């Protein structure tokens, strides 16, 4: 039986950052025991397999994991994770590409907060970026998160590099500052030579994005609360419909009152301040003092909240 993995993200990103990721649409256990033992996990997003020892479906700090790719069978990659569940050292492949080459970072990684995704992610610090085509960027890396991840839920950002760009085929070396365009999780990084003054432009854009993001966060939070509220409404309606003709019309009226009371709360207050469960319970209490009806409504509220949490 396939097990769902909690961790085993091969590159930084989104819900990723390690540990509590149980995404059956992304990870599958292909061989062995991927929960408490030796096993091989397949990451369907990156199309990479990862073999090693697992504990509670998570990576074990200090253990070396071996990675492989069907598209580039000759690529030998290894990773070591830290106690925080983030990639600490080794290879960070960029497999979302076509062709027979694998681009990757090799080196050490640090954890940073992605302020738009509100998660911690590993990014290269002192490392080599190997394009897979004989061009290597050897030196120091920084990462500037990008805002689009708020809506795509996929981590993205800009890489900044200072050091040597070495063309191992032509034997050419250049030292300087390079930056990338916005790069999504798992995609190869395209570096372009940059002037230091360009970093000021990047910083200004980042600050603008942070300001815009505040209203995006408010919108997302409001969306989530509405989803919860509507899930409660749906559950109450379902409960009423399941009761059939045995339900008295007064019970149906009570349910209607409760629902409108809760929706009124959502419409008239700042969504940030609304606690959907408390609002629904208040509305239910105001709608009826009958214990049986109250119990039925309380059950519907709990089911609705639970359903909406599972879908988020």
Partner 1 sequence: MRFTLLAVLLSTLHLPASASYIYPSSPDPVNQKHIDLFRANIAKYKSPQFLAFPASTMAMPCEVPPEKLYPLIGLGMALKETKAEIDKQGAKLMRKMGMDMESDHTYSDIRIEPLRAQCVNGKLDGEAEFLVSHSAKMMTKTRVDMLGEATDMTSTMSTKNVSRYQLQLKEGELAGESIVVQLVDAVNTVEYSSPAVKKMMASAPKLPPSKSLMVLMNNSQGHMTTFNEVPSVKVTKGLFMAGVDTGVALQTTLTIPVAPGYVRSLVFMDKDLLGSSGYKNGKPHGEHILYSDNIYKTLGQKLDRQVGMENVKEVVINGKDMLETRNCFINGEQVKVATCPAS
Q: CB-wise, 147 or 254, nearer to partner 1?
A: 147
Within 143-172, which residues bind partner 1 (CB under 8 A)? Answer: 146-148, 150-152, 156, 158, 167, 169
Q: How many residues bind partner 1 (CB under 8 A)?
A: 47
Q: Which of 24, 37, 134, 264 binds partner 1 (CB under 8 A)?
A: 134
> What's the first-to-final CA gap in the chain, in angstroms?
26
> What Rg value do the Cα atoms of the chain yield, rounded?
25
Say if CB 216 and CB 210 are below 8 A apart: no
In the complex, the smallest distance separating the C-beta of residue 51 from partner 1, rounded to whole angstroms, is 17
Task: Please enumerate in sequence order all residues whose Cβ is within 8 A of that of 240, keeping only pairs 6 or more positions apart, or say none.
Answer: 247, 251, 252, 255
- Smallest gap from residue 236 Cβ to partner 1 (A): 29
Q: Which CB atom, from 39 or from 95, has the smaller least distance to partner 1?
A: 95
In the complex, minimum distance from the CB of residue 290 to partner 1, in angstroms, rounded to a whole number: 44
3-state secondary structure of 83: coil
Question: What is the distance of C-alpha 113 from the center of its chain?
Answer: 12
In the bound complex, what is the minimum distance in angstroms from residue 165's beta carbon to partner 1? 10
Instruction: Determine how many CB atoms are found less than 10 A away from the CB of residue 73.
Output: 10
Question: Nearest approach, Cβ of 188 to partner 1 (angstroms)?
Answer: 6
Residues written for the chain: 312
Residues 177-206 that bind partner 1 (CB under 8 A): 179, 181-182, 184, 188, 190, 192-195, 197-198, 200-201, 205
Q: What are phi and psi of 155, to 5 degrees?
A: -65, 135
* Closer to partner 1 by Cβ: residue 185 or 231: 185
132 binds partner 1 (CB under 8 A): yes
The Cα–Cα gap between 271 and 234 comes to 19
User: Which is nearest to 136 in space by CA: 76, 178, 181?
Assistant: 178
Q: Give the distance from CA 15 to its chain's centroid.
A: 2
Stretch that binds partner 1, among 17-25, 130-138, 247-255, 260-268 (CB under 8 A): 130-138
Binder among 15, 23, 40, 47 for partner 1 (CB under 8 A): 47
CA-based nearest residue to 230, from 141, 301, 137: 301
Residue 79 or 156: the one with the smaller Cβ distance to partner 1 is 156
Is residue 92 part of the contact set for partner 1 (CB under 8 A)?
A: no
> Is 97 an interacting residue with respect to partner 1 (CB under 8 A)?
yes
Cβ proximity to partner 1: between 91 and 265 the closer is: 91
> Quick check: helix, strand or coil at residue 160?
strand
For partner 1, the closer of residues 155 and 288 by Cβ is 155
**Other CB atoms within 10 Å distance of the CB of residue 225:** 19
Looking at residues 204 to 263 of the shown chain, list those that interact with partner 1 (rule: CB under 8 A): 205, 209, 212, 216
Contact 221, 185 (CB under 8 A): no
Q: In this structure, are residues 33 and 43 in contact, taking their beta carbons and an 8 Å threshold? A: no
The structure tokens 């492989």 sit at 68
- Of 42, 107, 105, 56, give the one whose Cα is nearest residue 85: 56
Given the rule CB under 8 A, which residues bind partner 1? 42, 44, 47, 69-71, 73, 95, 97-101, 103, 131-135, 146-148, 150-152, 156, 158, 167, 169, 179, 181-182, 184, 188, 190, 192-195, 197-198, 200-201, 205, 209, 212, 216
């Amino acid at each position: 039986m396939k097990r769902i993995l909690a961790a085993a993200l091969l590159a930084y990103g989104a819900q990723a950052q390690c540990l509590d990721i149980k995404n059956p649409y992304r990870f599958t256990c292909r061989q062995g025991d991927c929960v408490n033992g030796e096993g091989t996990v397949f990451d369907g997003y990156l199309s990479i397999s990862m073999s090693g020892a697992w504990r509670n479906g998570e990576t074990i700090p200090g253990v070396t994991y071996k990675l492989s790719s069907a598209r580039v069978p000759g690529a030998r990659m290894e990773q070591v994770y830290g106690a925080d569940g983030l990639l600490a050292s080794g290879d960070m492949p960029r497999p979302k590409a076509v062709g027979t080459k694998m681009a990757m970072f090799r080196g050490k990684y640090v954890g940073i907060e992605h302020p738009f995704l509100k998660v911690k992610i590993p990014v290269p610090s002192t490392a080599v970026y190997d394009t897979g085509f004989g061009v290597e960027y050897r030196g120091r890396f920084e990462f500037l998160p990008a805002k689009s991840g708020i809506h795509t839920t996929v981590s993205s950002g800009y890489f900044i590099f200072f050091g040597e760009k070495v063309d191992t085929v032509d034997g050419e070396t250049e030292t300087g500052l390079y930056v990338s365009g916005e790069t999504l999780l798992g995609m190869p990084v395209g570096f372009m030579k940059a002037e230091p003054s360009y970093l000021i432009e990047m910083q200004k854009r980042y600050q603008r994005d942070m300001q815009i993001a505040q209203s995006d966060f408010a919108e997302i939070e409001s969306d989530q609360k509405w989803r919860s509220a509507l899930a409660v409404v749906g559950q109450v309606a379902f409960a009423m419909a399941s009761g059939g003709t045995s339900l008295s019309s007064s019970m149906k009226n009570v349910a209607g009152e409760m629902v409108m009371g809760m929706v009124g709360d959502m419409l008239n207050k700042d969504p940030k301040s609304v606690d959907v469960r408390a609002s629904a319970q208040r509305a239910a209490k105001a709608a009826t003092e009958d214990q049986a009806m109250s119990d039925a409504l309380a059950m519907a509220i709990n089911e609705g909240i639970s359903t909406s949490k599972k879908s988020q």
